[in-house]
Structure 1
């Protein structure tokens, strides 16, 4: 069940475009920076990535991933950022045309690249927002019964 996302989290996700993706494979943990666009209706981030990348291979083996989206600031009072968990899955054949169109609207250079699109179905989010006071947090969880399932 999709639970409504707090507005500060949704706005932050819409205002940014690079996330750090954390995956696990047989060699251990691996991170990658990826361009994404956020779709509030599905509470998902969409990204394009090559089949032969280490993080793609890891997502195929273990779709439970985590990540961050953060501003770069030295001023502690201005720190904002998101930590998230998600289920990674390839965009279905039925949705690939629409998602490709949306992705290319956000990143026109992607029209020159052919790579699979992935959906990161967000499961949990913790947003730190020091603009509202030191240590202020916003939380969101997809399921209202506080369980996460793939």
Structure 2
């Protein structure tokens, strides 16, 4: 059985993590945490418009916007996250998903395998509970994309 390939943007990040030592993985995670963009003005202070990911150990909220197009291949997905600065692991996971998925087509996002977070080799560096949070973020993103593209 062959595993479904990750989109190139996410595959590149996964390779960086897999080739790193556990200490370096945590450093990379911190870099993604620092690079997570803030919410745009239209969502600032409006967390009620975002979905909370309860599986995360820290409060994390996300929402997805899907652009117009005739097919899922033409509809561009944009991701927005809100996580506290004092939650670097959670922010790091959100940063990875933002960097790897933002700007892809709806079809590409929906094709991301559900086990993608397990392909980063992070399970050796962070707790299984934390990994569940990243898996849940991806599931929420895909569910929101499906909901926003349903006809």
The alignment's TM-score, normalised by the length of structure 2, stands at 0.30
The structure with more radius of gyration: 1
Q: Point out the structure with the larger helix share.
A: 2
| TM-score of the superposed pair, with normalisation by structure 1 | 0.31
Judging by fraction of residues, say which structure has more strand: 1
